[in-house]
């Protein structure tokens, strides 16, 4: 403040008066501004994380599995519903189930290879957008024979406790066991197909998430898990915003009575009302901006803590920041208007 007072800018209008007011307020409001900056960081961080969890649901569903659904023994009506979807891939595998093992035909797996997600976590974190470009590859029959985990992840119901095993076509025909079929498919747009997938789930009486493998099951689970965290984040963000704005507003307005004498004196010497209002806007604006800058810095560093829970917590930061800043500006405008009503004289003297 002292350096600004020595500049030529301080001699224009009421800049010297405004700087003196700020110098007094900042010295008197040090503890309050520190608390407000912490509340600002908590509020902005809560809203940012809450919105981030909402984006996380679709992202986790897309990268969780190469298939949207894996349906055991699909009904004819279910297969008709699946055919009406916009599909990226589809396959039907025959199974033979014994007491401990689920067998697969190697010839079918060779004709329609099982797919897998090839996009790594590091690659997803580098893609700064909400819809990560997920890449898919295939698993060879030889790999499935050595490690059938890709098939076991598609098994549901009682088959989840059984081991998958890939055998030749000749051996598969000789195995004595109950015959089943496994339908797997992936839609081009999971979110757009959510209503149709819900219908398929209901027609098959499948318990999504707990039994149903695939991206849709993860979408249902993610909505239940992250939906609550999203609500808590937004609720806490709004609550902290109300707290910080109210504390700062009441602190500023509590000192307005003593400031009224200064503005009455300026009015008597002929200061224009527009100049007085401009001085008030700058003075209150600085008191709002300072804790805001500190709070934003805290949030940018604090989001590092959520890299374990979110793939990219910095994705599309402009959305929560814009929402929060707009709400913050509303509180600023209300504070300025209330402050003007208190300090500005009712009868104004103009030159």
Q: What's the 3-state SS for the chain? A: CHHHHCCHHHHCCCHHHHHHHHHHHHHHCHHHHHHHHHHHHHHHHHHHHHHHHHHHHHHHHHHHCCCCEEEECCCHHHHHHHHCCCEEEEEEEEEEECCCEEEEEHHHHHHCCEEEECCCHHHHHHCCCCCCCCCEEEECHHHHHHCCHHHHCCCCHHHHHCEEEEECHHHHHHCCCEEEEEEEEEECCCCCCHHHHHHHHHHHCCCECCCECCHHHHHHHHHHHHHHHHHHHHHHHHHHHHHHHHHHHHHHHHCHHHHHHHHHHHHHCCCCHHHHHHHHHHHHHHHHHHHHHHHHHHHHHHHHHHHHCCCCCCCCCHHHHHHHHHHHHHHHHHHHHHHHHHHCCCCCCCC
Over 50: is that where the pLDDT of 194 sits?
Answer: yes
How much is the pLDDT for 279?
A: 79
Asked if residue 243 is part of any domain, the answer here is: yes
How far apart are alpha carbons 180 and 77 in whole angstroms? 17
How far apart are alpha carbons 48 and 45 in whole angstroms? 5
How far apart are alpha carbons 303 and 315 in whole angstroms? 11
334 and 289 within one domain: yes
Asked if residue 351 is part of any domain, the answer here is: no
How much is the pLDDT for 113?
A: 92
How far apart are alpha carbons 51 and 226 in whole angstroms? 10
147 and 250 within one domain: no
Averaged pLDDT, 310-332: 85
Asked if residue 177 is part of any domain, the answer here is: yes
Asked if residue 349 is part of any domain, the answer here is: no
Asked if residue 34 is part of any domain, the answer here is: yes
How much is the pLDDT for 251?
A: 80
Averaged pLDDT, 29-36: 80
The tokens of 337 are what?
């208007």
Domain boundary at 150, 178, 207, which? 207
**Cβ within 8 Å of residue 341, ≥6 positions away:** none
104 and 50 within one domain: no
Q: What's the number of CA atoms in the CB half-sphere (13 Å) around residue 250?
A: 7
- Among 90-104, 148-162, 262-276, 332-346, top mean pLDDT goes to 90-104
Asked if residue 5 is part of any domain, the answer here is: no
Q: Is 341 exposed, middle or buried (0-12, 13-18, 19+ CB in 10 A)?
A: exposed
What's the gap between Cα 305 and its chain centre? 14
Interhelix angle 273-302/15-28, nearest 10 degrees: 40
Higher pLDDT, 67 or 245: 67
Domain boundary at 176, 207, 238, which? 207
Over 50: is that where the pLDDT of 284 sits?
Answer: yes
pLDDT tens string 61-114 = 777 788 998 888 888 888 888 889 999 999 999 999 998 999 999 999 999 999
How much is the pLDDT for 134?
A: 79
State which residues form the domain around 116.
Answer: 68-190+200-207
Predicted TM-score (pTM) above 0.85: no
174 and 233 within one domain: no
**Cβ within 8 Å of residue 290, ≥6 positions away:** 26, 33, 37
Asked if residue 30 is part of any domain, the answer here is: yes
Asked if residue 305 is part of any domain, the answer here is: yes
Q: Please state, rounded to an integer, the average pLDDT across all residues of the chain.
A: 81
How far apart are alpha carbons 237 and 43 in whole angstroms? 4
Over 70: is that where the pLDDT of 131 sits?
Answer: no
- Number of domains forming the structure of the chain: 2
Q: Give the bridge partners for 101, in sequence order.
A: 163
336 and 230 within one domain: yes
Over 70: is that where the pLDDT of 178 sits?
Answer: yes
Over 60: is that where the pLDDT of 5 sits?
Answer: no
């Amino acid at each position: 403040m002292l350096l600004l007072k020595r500049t030529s800018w301080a001699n224009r209008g009421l800049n010297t008066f405004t700087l003196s007011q700020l110098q007094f307020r900042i010295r008197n409001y040090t503890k309050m501004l520190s608390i407000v900056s912490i509340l600002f960081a908590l509020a902005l961080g809560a809203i940012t994380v809450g919105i981030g969890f909402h984006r996380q649901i679709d992202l986790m569903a897309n990268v969780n599995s190469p298939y949207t659904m894996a349906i055991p023994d699909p009904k004819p009506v279910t297969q008709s519903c699946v055919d009406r979807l916009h599909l990226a891939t589809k396959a039907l595998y025959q199974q033979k189930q014994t007491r401990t093992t689920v067998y697969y035909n190697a010839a079918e797996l060779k004709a329609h290879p099982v797919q897998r997600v090839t996009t790594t976590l590091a690659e997803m974190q580098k893609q700064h957008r909400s819809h990560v470009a997920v890449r898919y590859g295939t698993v060879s029959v030889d790999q499935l024979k050595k490690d059938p985990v890709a098939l076991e992840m598609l098994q549901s119901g009682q088959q989840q406790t059984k081991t998958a095993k890939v055998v030749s076509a000749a051996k598969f025909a000789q195995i004595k066991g109950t015959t089943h079929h496994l339908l797997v498919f992936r839609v081009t747009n999971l979110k757009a197909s959510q209503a149709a997938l819900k219908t398929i789930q209901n027609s098959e009486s499948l318990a999504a998430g707990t039994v149903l493998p695939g991206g849709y099951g993860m979408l249902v689970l993610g909505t239940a898990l992250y939906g609550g965290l999203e609500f808590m984040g937004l609720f806490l963000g709004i609550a902290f915003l109300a707290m910080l704005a109210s504390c700062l507003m009441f602190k500023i307005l509590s000192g307005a009575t003593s400031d009224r004498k200064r503005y009455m004196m300026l009015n008597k010497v002929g200061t224009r009302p527009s100049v007085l209002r401009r001085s008030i806007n700058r003075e209150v604006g600085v008191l709002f901006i300072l804790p805001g800058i500190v709070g934003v810095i805290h949030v940018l560093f604090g989001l590092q803590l959520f890299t374990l829970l979110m793939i990219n917590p910095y994705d599309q930061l402009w959305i929560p920041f814009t929402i929060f800043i707009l709400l913050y500006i509303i509180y600023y405008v209300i504070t300025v208007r209330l402050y003007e009503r208190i300090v500005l004289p009712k009868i104004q003297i103009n030159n």
